[in-house]
Structure 1
Amino acid sequence: MHTIWKGSISFGLVNIPIKLHAATEDKDIKLRNLHKECHSPIKYEKVCPVCEVEIKNEDIVKAYEYTKGKFVVLDDEELESLKKEKEDKAVEIIDFIKMEQIDPIFYNRSYFMSPSEGGGKAYSLLRKALGESEKVGLAKIIIRSKEQLAVIRVYENTLVMETLHFPDEVRSAGDVPNVPQEEKVSEKELSTAILLIDQLTNDFEPDKYTDDYRTALLELIESKRTGKEIVTPNEKEKKSNVTDLMAALQASIDRTKPKGTTAKKKKATAKKKKEA
């Protein structure tokens, strides 16, 4: 499993050297965009709209647009310096809390945590302590140049780090349009709705839920592939070397002709016309 971060987690005087591994994977089916006429994959180029030229990565700088059309440019050195100043690989658990106090809207991504060399015992201690106390650890960590609030908890005998959105990253529910205020609901309507909920209530068994759209799309792709409904991009037409060579030879011959030859031919042609 690929390691995306190395460092340590500490609580009190206990320090645990750990590695982070992505706990989830994106299984979306990636579809390419092709040119309808020749089925060639479409390229997306970085082009400056003013200079009308393609831009290379080394010609790009980062900037913050503080108002429409006005930017503050930030050098790579400045960003790197700020990152190093804030990026402490020893991440301290700052609080222990009950997990049910965190609304699911705050959750972002999940990472498995594994102990680095020499960290097995401390890892086991934290895992057992979290399980016995039925609490989770709250910490801050910088991953890929972004500071994250994170929860450390136990999942199937493995420590998991769940990154959280900061409060100012969660939009206000009060800004959602057309949400109805409290309306009168009859007792009969309410009791019928609750009865329906009770009848549909089950234990959560994640294995029984599947991505039906992805399955259907894969079946469609496979049926087209086996039915030979496939397309290949047209190859870019290449210039004929023979034509180019002949043109170059003719141009060379014309260039090396004596200057008087053309004039003599014209005089001879004119003379023949007069005699005729």
Structure 2
Amino acid sequence: MRSIWNGAISFGLVSIPIKLVNATENHSFSFRQIHKEDGGRIRYRKVCELDGEEVSSGDIGRAYQDADGSMIPITDEDMAALPLPTAKTIEIVAFVPAASIDPLQMDTAYYISANGVPAAKPYTLLREALKRSDKVALAKFALRGRERLGMLRVVDDVIAMHGLLWPDEIRKPEGVAPETEVTVRDAELDLADALMDTLGDVDLDSLHDDYREAVEEMIAAKAEGEPVPERAPSGGGGKVIDLMAALENSVQAAKQSRGDDDEHAEVTHLQDRKQPQDKGKSAASSARKTTQGKSAAKKTTAAKKSTGAKKTAASKKSTTAKKTTPAKKSTPGKRKSA
């Protein structure tokens, strides 16, 4: 990996020579601007507004525009002479629990590699200390013309650093939450919990950029002169009319998409609160169910009695038959004795 910054980590009195490399890469498409009429590329030229002449990159400097509109030139020498200890150093200022860092502050991620053989020992020392403490290091460093805040943590066997936004760069969420007061029922929370449990496990490697794949297919089709793939129908959306029904359907759809058996689906179906006029029908239905239950109970009792009667009769017949059989055997015996 190509380094984007060389410097050192200041760990107390220990200095660790390091290199900084990007930990992420961008896979987004880059389109060019063209003239719709003839397809020609649109080019931008850097022109001086005073004389109208085009200026090359080597002749372009930088300046700060003051409140009155005047320009204050700033040279590379001016920036290099700034009294900043973090100009070439990642200065660790504290070790804190990872949970104390607000994820809203996290910015670009970098990998930190040891720069040279002598740096291997102190680099490994810091890495193992971070592992054992189960903490992250807060640091300050300068990159691309400004001082930044960073968080150092261990990823596999490498020290990684996340650029952090300064606390005053995080905006307060004023006016973002719903202004109307809303009450959420326990039943709705239960269904939301069921949906969260169903969607709880995921392999991050299985997730991919559907938009980028669709753009790739569209570009390939146009390059070959083939029809552009049609847009797939959207999966719903719009206003939520019945929140409970939407949650129930979401749980069922999530289980089906993950291959779960519908027989094991635990979805709580609630009564509709919009039908109070059907109390009479409900009562009548309950009465019919109760009557049917009593009738079924009577039939069961009768069946049990009938079965018991049959068994008793059979038992009596069996007993009579057993008693009769010895009587028949004794008769021939009496005739022989006479």
Higher helix share goes to which structure? 2
Q: What are the equivalent positions in structure 2 for 1:179-190 lying under 5 Å apart?
A: 179-180=178-179, 182-190=181-189
Residue 162 of structure 2: aligned partner: 162
Residue 17 of structure 1: aligned partner: 17
Residue 100 of structure 1: aligned partner: 99
1:184: Cα distance to partner? 1.6
Alpha carbons of structure 1 residues 80 and 106: separation in structure 2 relative to 1, 3 Å = same
In structure 2, what is the Cα distance between the partners aligned to 1:73 and 1:31? Answer: 35
Residue 235 of structure 1: aligned partner: none
Q: Count residues with an aligned counterpart.
A: 225
Unaligned runs of 5+ residues in structure 1 are 230-276
> Residues 203-242 of structure 1, C-alpha deviation per residue, up to 9 Å, x if partnerless?
5x3211111111111122122223389xxxxxxxxxxxxx
> Residues 38-82 of structure 1, C-alpha deviation per residue, up to 9 Å, x if partnerless?
21110122345676554555365422353xx63452332574245
Answer whether contact 1:83 1:145 (CA < 8 A) is retained. Answer: no
In structure 2, what is the Cα distance between the partners aligned to 1:61 and 1:13? Answer: 37
Q: Secondary structure at the match of 2:161?
A: strand
1:225 maps to a residue whose letter is A
> Residues 86-125 of structure 1, C-alpha deviation per residue, up to 9 Å, x if partnerless?
5532332110011111111101101111101111111111
**Bigger relative contact order, structure 1 or 2 (CA pairs below 8 A, ≥6 apart):** 1
Residue 63 of structure 1: aligned partner: 64
In structure 1, what is the Cα distance between the partners aligned to 2:44 and 2:71? Answer: 26
1:32: Cα distance to partner? 0.8
Higher strand share goes to which structure? 1
Q: What are the equivalent positions in structure 2 for 1:26-105 lying under 5 Å apart?
A: 26-47=26-47, 54-57=54-57, 58=59, 61-66=62-67, 70-76=69-75, 79-83=78-82, 85=84, 87-105=86-104
Identity, in percent, stands at 36
1:171: Cα distance to partner? 1.4
Alignment partner of 1:113 is 2:135: no
1:189 maps to a residue whose letter is E
Answer whether contact 2:35 2:42 (CA < 8 A) is retained. Answer: yes
Q: Secondary structure at the match of 2:222?
A: helix
Answer whether contact 2:61 2:75 (CA < 8 A) is retained. Answer: no
Answer whether contact 2:127 2:158 (CA < 8 A) is retained. Answer: yes
In structure 2, what is the Cα distance between the partners aligned to 1:31 and 1:130? Answer: 43
Residue 8 of structure 2: aligned partner: 8
Q: Secondary structure at the match of 1:214?
A: helix
**Aligned-residue CA RMSD (Å):** 2.5
Alpha carbons of structure 1 residues 48 and 98: separation in structure 2 relative to 1, 3 Å = same
Q: TM-score, normalised by structure 1?
A: 0.73
